[in-house]
């Protein structure tokens, strides 16, 4: 492995560290912070993977990148986690304090609104079961076992795909096990990060990779619908972000 490949691999493995933080942190603010860090790391990893030359294991020359068409695709891929890293605290705070009567889709949160959001987040601090770290470890091991035992490819590709699969499993676990809707949606977004990574790994196929990137952008529409519309409306309709309370108040049974 070249130094460049080692850097990429370290970046990928660091994504697992942030996924661990997301899974084991009890406070919503800490979960959001860990997710932001993960998004920044993914942005850097995506750029590094894009400029990695598969032939030599070193970095590609800029003109080679431009002619292969990967530069545009990678810029588009990197833009997504970067945008989420920058805006996720504001989006989540907005979802927590949004009132439909105000009728504003976008607005600058006042200091009071930010404080209110953070106090609601603190109220929703649910203790994380002791087994959570162990479950996370099991999921990561399962992902690595599936890829290392099941697919015959180069070692750096194996690591990348294993990390991607582990992010999917960890995200899924968070989506299922979390007690508030904000952390639950962070679980879905963690799965997205796994997708980004998997797509970056095949970005050396310029044309279909572009189509995959377009698919990711379309997927973002759903994320926006969830974050901007459904969470605020659901919280407004039920008066809480706590899933147990939402289920308790729900008429949807049987």
Partner 1 sequence: MITSISLTALAQITLGFPLVVLASTALVAWLGRRKHPVLAERLSGWITFISSLFLLLVSIGMMLSGKNVAYFDFFTVRFRLDALSIFMILLINVVAFAASWNSISYLAFVHPVPQRQWWQQGVWFHVLINLFHFTMLLVPLADNLIVIWIAIELTTVGSAFLIVYEGKKSSWDATWKYLIITSTGIVLALLGTIFLANSLPQEVIIQEQSNRLLDWSYLLSQRAILNKQFVWFAFLFALLGYGTKAGLAPMHTWLPDGHGEAPSPVSALLSGVLLKASLYAVLRFYTLTNAVLGDAYRDWTSYTLLIAGLLSLLTATPFILKDNPFKRVLAYHSLEHMGIIVFGLGMGGVIAVSGAILHMLNHAITKALMFLAYGNLLKRYEKAGASIKGALRIMPYSGSLLTLGGLALVGTPPFNIFMSELIILWGSVSRFIDGSQPEHPDYALPIAIVAIALFVGSTTLIFYGLMNHLKKIVLDKPDKEIPRESFTWSAIGPLLFLFVLMLALGVWIAPPLARLVSDSANIVLNLAN
6 vs 247, beta carbon nearer partner 1:
247
Residue environment code for 29-52, b if the CB has 16+ CB neighbours within 10 A, otherwise e: bbbbbbbbbbbbbbbbbbbbbbbb
* Tokens linked to 174: 């968070």
What's the closest the beta carbon of residue 109 comes to partner 1, in angstroms?
21
57 vs 114, beta carbon nearer partner 1:
57
Decide: is 105 part of the binding site for partner 1 (CB under 8 A): no
Residue from 102, 108, 112, 152 in contact with partner 1 (CB under 8 A):
152
Q: Which of residues 230-249 bind partner 1 (CB under 8 A)?
A: 230-231, 233-234, 237-238, 246, 249
Helix and strand numbers, DSSP H then E, in the chain: 11, 0
- Quickly count: other Cβ atoms within 10 Å of residue 67's Cβ: 11
Is the Cβ–Cβ distance between 179 and 244 less than 8 Å? yes
3 vs 151, beta carbon nearer partner 1:
151
Of the candidates 238, 230, 221, 252, the one whose C-alpha atom is nearest the C-alpha of residue 182 is 230
Residue from 120, 194, 240, 241 in contact with partner 1 (CB under 8 A):
194
* Tokens linked to 136: 């996370």
Residues of this chain that interact with partner 1 (CB under 8 A) are 100-101, 146, 150-153, 161, 164-165, 168, 171-172, 175, 181, 184-185, 188, 191-192, 194-195, 198-199, 202, 205-208, 211-212, 214-215, 218-219, 221-223, 225-226, 230-231, 233-234, 237-238, 246, 249-252, 254
């Amino acid at each position: 492995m070249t130094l460049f490949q080692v850097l990429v691999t370290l970046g990928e493995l660091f994504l697992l560290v942030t996924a661990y933080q997301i899974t084991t942190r009890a406070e919503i603010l800490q979960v959001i912070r860990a997710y932001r860090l993960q998004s920044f790391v993914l942005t850097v990893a995506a750029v590094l993977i894009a400029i990695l030359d598969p032939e030599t294991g070193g970095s590609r020359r800029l003109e080679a990148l431009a002619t292969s068409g990967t530069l545009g695709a990678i810029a588009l891929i990197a833009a997504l986690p970067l945008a989420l890293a920058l805006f996720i605290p504001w989006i989540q705070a907005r979802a927590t304090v949004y009132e439909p009567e105000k009728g504003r889709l976008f607005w600058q949160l006042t200091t009071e609104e930010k404080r209110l959001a953070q106090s609601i987040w603190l109220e929703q601090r649910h203790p994380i079961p002791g087994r959570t770290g162990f479950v996370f470890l099991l999921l990561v091991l399962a992902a690595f076992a599936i890829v290392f035992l099941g697919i015959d490819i180069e070692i750096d590709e194996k690591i990348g795909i294993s990390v991607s699969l582990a992010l999917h499993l960890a995200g899924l676990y968070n989506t299922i096990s979390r007690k508030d809707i904000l952390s639950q949606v962070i679980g879905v977004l963690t799965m997205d990060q796994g997708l980004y990574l998997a797509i970056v790994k095949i970005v050396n196929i310029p044309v279909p990779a572009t189509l995959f990137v377009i698919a990711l952008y379309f997927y973002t529409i759903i994320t926006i619908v969830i974050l901007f519309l459904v969470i605020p409306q659901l919280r407004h309709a039920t008066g809480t972000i706590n899933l147990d309370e939402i289920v308790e108040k729900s008429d949807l049974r049987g």
